[in-house]
Amino acid sequence: MKYVDEFRDPQKARTLIDNIRALKPALAADSAQPLQLMEFCGGHTHTIFRYGIEQMLPDWIELVHGPGCPVCVLPMGRVDDCVTLAERPDVIFTTFGDAMRVPGSKKSLLQAKADGADIRMVYSPLDALNLARKHPDRQVIFFALGFETTMPSTALTVLQAETEGIDNFSLFCNHITTVPTIKAILDSPDMRIDGFLAPGHVSMVVGEQPFEFVAHSYDKPIVITGFEPLDILQSIWMVLKQLAEKRCEVENQYARIVPSDGNTPGLEAMSKVFELREFFEWRGLGSIDHSGVKMRDEYARFDAERKFAVPNIKIADPKSCQCGEVLKGVIRPWQCKVFGSACTPETPMGALMVSTEGACAAYYNFGNLPELLAKREQLNKESVA
């Protein structure tokens, strides 16, 4: 298939792996204390597992799977709010597919749908706006979530609703921002990540500039990365090459999609409709300053949070859950106490088991479970001894 197979060529992959291995002498890395590279984005995590990239890499490189799966980091309280909204008899609640399964404290949207709530899966916020046009007697709420990647499309949908005077359409806004989150990870004391793969589709919107601080204030190399397996390998090589040459820069591997200054009309629409929240609650990471957006006062009538009574309940993550440590690369997913036992994709406790893009779910689905659990057992014994 054109524009797909070129980026999955096994021969080119072998060449890149050779190039990566060739950098070893210039890097201070060994298998006891491997170099840690974080891919921030859930899309990258998915590619890494789908193509088995981790096993192809030498053991002196460890990939840390970051918090960039918007479905995973959604706190339980917000899911409960969704369910409350969806269960109103006057509401058609619309959502992207993979948010349906995220567990709330009582139920997921999938369960709420089974209980009779009118919940519909859509592929775009414009589908939700269409439903609002078709059902003027109902309130259509779009569950807006995602990083900057999905923000322009929801912002433009709100602007379209305003132009057409569609007043039975609103957003339940749960959009989150990338930069404050990367900063929170960099500021955490137990973090020892050596370099970053920056999210390609977020960068397509925001451009290269917002990542400068990673290179300049924190001295970490960062490479904007595409989503095909060769993109990932090439970006890993680019980060390692920076480390080998003792450079810290923002480089753009995904230049075929990402313009250096981002998507200006998209950014304009975003800033017209949204403004930063003081803080936003993340599953696994807790509260992070300025890490979410809300709708500006001018668009209050399209804001489901203001239009309807949203209970806004806070629910703490389960204590046994170690998602935060996994997200920061302090432990590997399978080292978490509840991984594969109390926490599985069928009954996820923590953020990272929720969606297939979550690191724990990826290890559970694509990894060798008995082997991983045996490894954890072994480590526990060693630490007791």
Partner 1 sequence: MSASQNRRKLRADTITLAHGSGGKAMRDLIEDVFVGGFDNALLSQLEDQARFSLNDLAAHGDRLAMTTDCYVVDPLFFPGGDIGKLAVTGTVNDLAVGGAKPLYLSCGMIIEEGFAVEDLRRIVASMKATADAAGVAIVTGDTKVVHKGAADKLFINTAGVGVIAQGVDIGAQRAQPGDVILINGHVGDHGAAIVDARGDMALENTIETDCQPLNAMIADMLQACADIHCMRDATRGGIATVLNEFAENSQVGIRLDEAALPVRDEVRGMCEILGLDPLYLANEGKVVAIVPADAADTILHTMRQHTAGQHSAVIGEVVADNPGRVILQTGFGGERIVDMLVGEQLPRIC
| Least Cβ distance, residue 77 to partner 1 (angstroms) | 20
Burial of 308 (0-12, 13-18, 19+ CB in 10 A): middle
> Which is nearer to partner 1, 173 or 243 (by Cβ)?
173
Decide if residue 46 touches partner 1 (CB under 8 A): yes
Binding flag, residue 383, partner 1 (CB under 8 A): no
* Of 27-35, 115-123, 248-256, 335-343: span binding partner 1 (CB under 8 A): 115-123
Kindly state whether residue 13 participates in binding partner 1, applying the rule CB under 8 A: yes
283 sits near partner 1 (criterion: CB under 8 A): no
116 binds partner 1 (CB under 8 A): no
Q: Is 229 in the site for partner 1 (CB under 8 A)?
A: yes
Output the smallest distance, CB 249 to partner 1, in A.
26
CB closer to partner 1 out of 58 and 249 = 58
Number of residues that bind partner 1 (CB under 8 A): 46
Contact between 136 and partner 1 by CB under 8 A: the answer reads: no
Residue 146 in the binding site for partner 1 (CB under 8 A):
yes
Decide: is 218 part of the binding site for partner 1 (CB under 8 A): no
163 Cβ neighbours under 8 A, 6+ residues apart: none
Asked if 4 touches partner 1 (CB under 8 A), the answer is yes
Asked if 145 is part of the footprint of partner 1 (rule: CB under 8 A), the reply reads: yes
- Among the listed ranges 43-51, 85-93, 215-223, 284-292, the one in contact with partner 1 (CB under 8 A) is 43-51
Q: Does the protein bind partner 1 through residue 39 (CB under 8 A)?
A: no
Should residue 53 be labelled a site residue for partner 1 when binding is judged by CB under 8 A? yes
Question: Hey, which residues between 87 and 106 contact partner 1 (CB under 8 A)?
Answer: 96-101
Residue closer to partner 1 (CB basis): 126 or 310: 126
Please select the residue that binds partner 1; options are 45, 84, 139, 149, rule is CB under 8 A: 149
Q: Does 55 bind partner 1 (CB under 8 A)?
A: yes
Dist. CA 24–CA 29, nearest whole Å? 7
Whichever of 283 and 307 has its CB closer to partner 1, that residue is: 283
When asked if residue 8 is in the footprint of partner 1 (CB under 8 A), the reply is yes
Burial bucket for residue 86 (CB in 10 Å: 0-12, 13-18, 19+): buried
User: In the complex with partner 1, which residue's Cβ is closer, 41 or 215?
Assistant: 41
State yes or no: residue 71 binds partner 1 (CB under 8 A).
yes
User: Using CB under 8 A as the criterion, which residues of the chain lie in contact with partner 1 when the complex forms?
Assistant: 1, 4, 8, 10, 13-14, 43, 46, 49-56, 70-71, 96-101, 110, 121-123, 127, 145-146, 149-150, 201, 229, 345-346, 355-357, 364-369
